[in-house]
């Protein structure tokens, strides 16, 4: 018998820590090679953590919601040496390890055929230790493990239970709280996630669910409990109006300190660097999209949904960037030249329970409207689900941010460095507008362009913004290219 300790592998791309979202195994469980033992959250996404060892779980290191550093122990497994993968091997795609487990399962978990097949695949560049971070040329297609499924070890003949060993009670099914922030918030507010009706993707409990439950509990308590510091509503503070309750004495107390998640740290670093390094300037304009509003239903392919306004705005922005390519470039490291590209990798700001993310549509300028709309919907869904592949969270060359979805007209956006510009889109509302000398109701939105003044001057930025406005106000002029 031997005990193997699985250390958190190097996640690559400068990531040095991860937040433990939830355990999927318990002490005493028998697990197989590549069985998912936990979900961890990095600054990129939430990923499954598979075990490189088979055996019995002796100990788990770390609490759900806590941080594990790269190289720190994650789990201890007994009798895992016979089928263990080399934990120092580079990470590979999830599809490769799934293939190894499925093709060797018929030989039995402890057979030499399984061991040799696993080692052969490991030497060929596999040996997965973290799903989503690999050494292959790109993600495997068609064989990707579905979210929420767990690879099970091949069945073994039932072994007789040792005499006198107490029977372990069946563990309850884990509650679908995927974000450590939501889990911590529920714990601090005294809310049991098991009692909540989840409203998030795939049945996940969200921050809003927890706050809603906490608010209902507080409201119920307020009906019966007197306010602290007031006896019957008659005590008043010195100099206060009659009937006003006295305020507690002393300074404010710190209720709690919430550490930043890996994503929040990454966002903080990016935005802080942007504000510190970029001399930014902003131009904005109101645009009449009444005609586009009326044409949008007719732009849908037969049997398909009408394209979203984000897709429409993005498509016209991409057309305007053909005339103003500096705004989709990047400064060199010395900031004394700008790199121009043969296309646009479009970043799209997405608000998620984990925080702001900017997934990327590669070569978005080459996509027609229907394909662009589909890519946007898919990106938003995977980002909110925390499953965006790391390769789609980098290398954007221009960013759009539709904050109008939150019911606001404008925003002083921060450039998503190393981009040199970001276009913000406000809400579309009916406003009085002068058309042909008459005041009529029109659908108006505000666009704001924040740009790096080192790259261009206000005239160039205004020219780009006016080009976008002209396309939006006269959408049929460019419709064949949309």
Catalytic residues: 453
Q: Which residues of 279-289 are buried (b: 16+ CB within 10 A; e: fewer)?
A: ebebbbebbbb
- Strand segments, DSSP code E, in 289-339 are 330-331, 338-339
* Assigned token pair, 166: 């107490």
Kind of pairing between the strands at 346-348 and 360-361: antiparallel
DSSP β-bridge partners for residue 55: 31
Four-residue CA torsion sign, 349, 350, 355, 359: negative
Q: Do the Cβ atoms of 188 and 259 come closer than 8 Å?
A: no
Plot region of 296 (φ>0 → left; ψ -120 to 50 → alpha; else → beta): alpha
In 342-397, where does DSSP find H-type helix? 369-384
Give the integer Cα–Cα distance in Å for 98 and 93: 9
- Strand segments, DSSP code E, in 52-91 are 55-60, 67-69, 73-78
Q: Do the Cβ atoms of 118 and 80 come closer than 8 Å?
A: no
In a 3-state reduction of DSSP, which class is residue 454?
coil
């Amino acid at each position: 018998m031997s005990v193997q300790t699985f250390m958190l592998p190097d996640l690559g791309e400068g990531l040095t820590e991860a937040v433990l979202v939830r355990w999927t195994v318990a002490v005493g469980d028998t697990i197989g090679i590549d069985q998912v033992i936990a979900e961890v959250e990095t600054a990129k996404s939430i990923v499954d953590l598979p075990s490189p060892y088979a055996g019995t779980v002796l100990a788990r290191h770390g609490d759900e919601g806590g941080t594990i550093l790269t190289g720190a122990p994650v789990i201890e497994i007994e009798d895992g040496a016979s089928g263990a993968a080399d934990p120092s091997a580079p990470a590979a795609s999830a599809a490769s390890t799934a293939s190894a487990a499925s093709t060797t399962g018929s030989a039995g978990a402890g057979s030499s055929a399984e061991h040799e097949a696993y080692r052969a695949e490991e030497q060929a560049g596999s040996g997965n230790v973290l799903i989503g971070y690999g050494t292959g040329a790109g993600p495997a297609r068609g064989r990707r493990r579905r979210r929420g499924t767990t690879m099970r070890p091949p069945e073994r003949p039932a072994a007789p239970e040792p005499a006198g060993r107490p029977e372990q009670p069946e563990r309850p099914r884990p509650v679908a709280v995927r974000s450590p922030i939501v889990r911590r918030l529920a714990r601090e507010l005294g809310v049991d996630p098991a009692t909540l009706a989840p409203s998030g993707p795939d049945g996940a409990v969200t921050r809003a669910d927890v706050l809603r439950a906490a608010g209902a509990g507080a409201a119920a308590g307020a009906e019966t409990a007197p306010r602290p510091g007031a006896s019957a509503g008659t005590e008043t503070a010195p100099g206060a109006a009659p009937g006003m309750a006295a305020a507690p004495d002393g300074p404010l107390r710190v209720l709690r300190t919430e550490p930043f998640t890996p994503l929040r740290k990454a966002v903080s670093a990016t935005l802080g660097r942007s504000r510190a390094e970029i001399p930014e300037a902003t131009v904005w304009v109101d645009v009449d999209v009444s005609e586009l509003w009326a044409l949008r239903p007719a732009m849908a392919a037969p049997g398909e949904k009408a394209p979203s306004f984000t897709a429409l705005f993005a498509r016209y922005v991409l057309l305007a960037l053909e005339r103003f390519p500096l705004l989709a470039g990047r400064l060199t490291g010395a900031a004394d030249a700008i790199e121009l590209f043969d296309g646009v990798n479009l970043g799209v700001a997405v608000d998620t329970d984990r925080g702001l993310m900017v997934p990327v549509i590669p070569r978005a300028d080459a996509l027609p409207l229907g394909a662009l709309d589909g890519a946007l919907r898919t990106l938003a869904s995977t980002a909110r689900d925390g499953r965006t592949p790391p390769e789609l969270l980098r290398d954007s060359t221009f960013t759009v941010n539709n904050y109008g979805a939150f019911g606001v007209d404008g925003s002083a956006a921060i450039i998503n460095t190393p981009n040199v510009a970001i276009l913000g889109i406000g809400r579309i509302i009916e406003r009085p507008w002068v058309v042909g000398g008459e005041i009529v109701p029109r659908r108006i939105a505000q666009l704001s362009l924040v740009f790096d003044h080192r790259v261009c001057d206000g005239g160039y930025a205004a020219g780009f913004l006016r080009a976008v406005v002209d396309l939006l106000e006269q959408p049929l002029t460019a419709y064949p290219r949309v």
